[in-house]
Amino acid sequence: MNQLTNTFKALSDETRLRMIMVLHVEKLCVCELSGILEISQPRISQNLAKLRDMGLVVDERMEKYVYYSIKRENQLLKKLIQIIEEDDNHKEQLSLDRERLKAKAAFTKQSCSTDIP
């Protein structure tokens, strides 16, 4: 029952729901998520920490970035994602997020650069 409660708590927030839906498509770093969702990096990081603590996302370090993806073993989450994708009430926002996902490279170069000019 705890997993069910945590999952619904996480998905009750629009930002976390959008993050889950984008991370379902592919793994992303904080700066990519920030650009795609047009939300500040600190807010993205706070929500990712909650999602990770709830067991809904996992992180993986690759070179200088940490990438996040949904926890594929979570069957409840996978079923809920499927239901959400089939619901026409959310299609417009999800489509916008997925369109911006196609331009993720621009967000990485723009926001994640550690080079000092």
Q: Where are the domains of the chain?
A: 2-105
**Are 84 and 14 spatial neighbours (Cβ–Cβ below 8 Å)?**
no
Average pLDDT over residues 9-24: 94
Residue-wise pLDDT tens digits, 56-100: 999 999 888 899 999 999 899 999 999 998 887 778 888 899 999
Q: Which residue has tokens 């930002």?
A: 15
pTM: 0.85
SS3 of residue 56 by DSSP: coil
| CATH code that applies to domain 2-105 | 1.10.10.10
Nearest-angstrom CA–CA distance, 12 and 8: 6
- The pLDDT of residue 109: 59
Please give the structure tokens belonging to residue 7: 């999952």
101: pLDDT strictly greater than 80: yes
The sign of the CA dihedral 15, 55, 21, 69 is: positive
